[in-house]
């Protein structure tokens, strides 16, 4: 039996005239999109705030052309871009509303209430939105870490995600980084017939061994224990001098050296954090502030797409039940705590025998 009564949103609803939103979701990656589908399909007005210019999160921006082979229902695999586009289209069809190129600044408490639910004010770079519940799904890592020595060239041929170039034949590509994203980028460039050098600062790559082997077997040159010391233009290409004195000439440079943490944003929201700077949550994905949930990478390690989906769906259901069944979550918490206490007593009694 379904856990909700289907209440379709009116396609003629004037969302701009809403006094408040039922749910505001921060982030349009896998977790945020899954949460938005779940709330909208339950008749809740849902707004998604996304800092980038399109939806999709990491599958869209880090590996758009890479085949993801562990998504149920796609036996041949599906690219990050196609998967993101499909889920986004599904959300739009469910009447989820989006605000792109906008960033979260604060989540404020207000004196306004709706059916005993204290409204919150989500403040972004572009506006303010009243809502009943907030789901934070913006990812633990916000923006690609830049490489100043290369950025100084101000070249349009320097990328922080794999560029959409159909064929690299006769072109040289330098990939900077030693992790999975870097070697995935190198493998995709090689598949497009590029000449590839991978510059790895560490003494050995930390990427999956099979991907590293694939790059080497395809003719990619992996240079470990070196960094880019300087960069200049030379005959229309970029000349990169490595710390061991080697000079590489590259038509394109793809930089994959990690991301900047969103910890400052989380601190500004006055949320309790874990030791690693991620958001602390309870078993119901609720944060230390009542009515604010957190899903996906924001509360720990980077997750598989399917795990992010599952968390987004679960948190959305908890938010839905809090809205439609006041005090439901508190009652469930109390019941679960009693069950846990009984379990502890039984365990203690068994130890004392």
Question: What's the mean pLDDT in 51-69?
Answer: 83
Structure-derived torsion over alpha carbons of residues 322, 2, 85, 96, reported in degrees to the nearest 10: -40
DSSP SS3 for 243:
coil
**To which H or E segment does residue 191 belong?**
helix 180-191
Q: Is the pLDDT of residue 153 over 80?
A: yes
What whole-number distance in Å separates Cα of residue 247 and Cα of residue 249? 7
Q: What is the pLDDT of residue 87?
A: 96
Q: Is the pLDDT of residue 36 over 60?
A: yes
**To which H or E segment does residue 48 belong?**
strand 46-49
Question: What's the mean pLDDT in 209-236?
Answer: 95
Q: Is the pLDDT of residue 143 over 90?
A: no
Question: What's the mean pLDDT in 60-79?
Answer: 85
Q: Cβ atoms within 10 A of the Cβ of 134, count?
A: 26
- The whole-chain average pLDDT of the chain stands at 89
Is residue 110 within 8 A of residue 118, CB to CB? The reply is yes
Q: Is the pLDDT of residue 80 over 50?
A: yes
Question: What's the mean pLDDT in 7-12?
Answer: 81
Q: Is the pLDDT of residue 105 over 60?
A: yes
What whole-number distance in Å separates Cα of residue 190 and Cα of residue 224? 19
What whole-number distance in Å separates Cα of residue 268 and Cα of residue 256? 27
Q: So what CATH class is 15-142+260-342?
A: alpha beta
State the residue for tokens 């849902």: 46
Q: Cβ atoms within 10 A of the Cβ of 334, count?
A: 11
State the residue for tokens 């399917």: 306
Q: What is the pLDDT of residue 316?
A: 96
Helix and strand numbers (H, E) in the chain are 9, 19
What whole-number distance in Å separates Cα of residue 2 and Cα of residue 340? 27
Structure-derived torsion over alpha carbons of residues 29, 136, 261, 274, reported in degrees to the nearest 10: -130
In terms of DSSP bridges, do strands 247-250 and 221-224 run parallel, antiparallel, or are they unpaired? unpaired
Q: Is the pLDDT of residue 353 over 80?
A: no
Q: Is the pLDDT of residue 327 over 80?
A: no
Distances (CA, A) of 28 to 33, 138, 163, 262, 263: 5, 7, 21, 15, 19
> Model confidence over 296-320: pLDDT tens digits?
988 887 778 999 999 999 999 999 9
Q: What is the pLDDT of residue 190?
A: 94
In the CATH scheme, what architecture does the domain 146-257 have?
A: 3-Layer(bba) Sandwich (3.50)
Question: What's the mean pLDDT in 94-113?
Answer: 94
Q: What is the pLDDT of residue 168?
A: 84
Residue 38 DSSP code: H
Q: How confident is the model at residue 23 (pLDDT cuts 50, 70, 90)?
A: very high
Greatest extent of the chain over all pairs of C-alpha atoms, in Å: 82
Q: Is the pLDDT of residue 114 over 80?
A: yes
Provide the strand spans (E) within 160-226: 172-176, 195-200, 221-224
Q: What is the pLDDT of residue 163?
A: 80
Query: Quick one: how far is CA 218 from the chain centroid?
Result: 30
> Model confidence over 169-216: pLDDT tens digits?
889 999 999 999 899 999 989 999 999 999 999 999 999 999 999 999
For the chain, give every residue range classified as CATH 3.50.50.60: 15-142+260-342, 146-257
Distances (CA, A) of 311 to 31, 37, 38, 285: 7, 13, 11, 8
Q: What is the pLDDT of residue 46?
A: 98
pTM: 0.71
Percent of the chain with pLDDT over 70: 90
Question: What's the mean pLDDT in 333-345?
Answer: 65
Q: What is the pLDDT of residue 256?
A: 93
What whole-number distance in Å separates Cα of residue 66 and Cα of residue 190? 13
Q: What is the pLDDT of residue 348?
A: 63
Q: What is the pLDDT of residue 263?
A: 75
The tokens describing 254, both together, are 């793809």
């Amino acid at each position: 039996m379904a856990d909700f009564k289907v209440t379709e949103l009116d396609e003629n609803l004037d969302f701009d005239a809403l006094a408040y939103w039922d749910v505001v979701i921060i982030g349009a990656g896998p977790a945020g999109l899954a949460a938005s589908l779940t709330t909208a399909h339950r008749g809740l007005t849902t707004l998604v705030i996304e800092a980038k210019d399109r939806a999709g999160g990491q599958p869209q921006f880090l590996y758009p052309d890479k085949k993801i082979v562990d998504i149920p229902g796609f036996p041949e695999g599906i690219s990050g871009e196609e998967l993101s586009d499909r889920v986004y289209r599904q959300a739009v069809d469910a009447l989820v509303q989006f605000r792109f190129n906008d960033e979260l600044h604060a989540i404020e408490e207000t004196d306004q209430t709706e059916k005993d639910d204290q409204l919150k004010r989500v403040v972004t770079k572009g506006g303010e939105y009243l809502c009943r519940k907030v789901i934070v799904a913006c990812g633990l890592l916000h923006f690609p870490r830049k490489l100043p020595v290369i950025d100084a060239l101000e070249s349009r041929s320097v990328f922080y995600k794999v560029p959409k170039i159909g064929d690299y034949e006769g072109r040289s590509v330098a990939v900077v980084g030693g992790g999975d994203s870097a070697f995935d980028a190198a493998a995709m460039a090689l598949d497009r017939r590029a000449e590839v050098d991978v510059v790895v600062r560490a003494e050995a790559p930390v990427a999956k061994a099979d991907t590293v082997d694939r790059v080497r077997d395809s003719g990619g040159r992996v240079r470990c224990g070196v960094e880019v010391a300087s960069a200049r233009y030379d005959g229309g290409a970029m000349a990169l001098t490595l710390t061991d004195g080697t000079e590489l000439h590259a038509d394109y440079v793809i930089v994959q050296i990690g991301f900047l943490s969103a910890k400052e944003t989380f601190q500004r929201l006055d949320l309790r954090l874990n030791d690693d700077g991620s958001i602390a949550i309870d078993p119901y994905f609720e944060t230390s502030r009542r009515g604010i949930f957190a899903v996906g990478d924001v509360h720990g390690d980077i997750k598989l797409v399917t795990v992010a989906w599952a968390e987004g769906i679960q948190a959305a259901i908890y938010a839905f039940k809090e809205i439609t069944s006041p005090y439901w979550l508190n009652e469930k918490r109390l019941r679960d705590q009693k069950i846990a206490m009984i379990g502890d007593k039984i365990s203690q009694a068994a130890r004392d025998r």
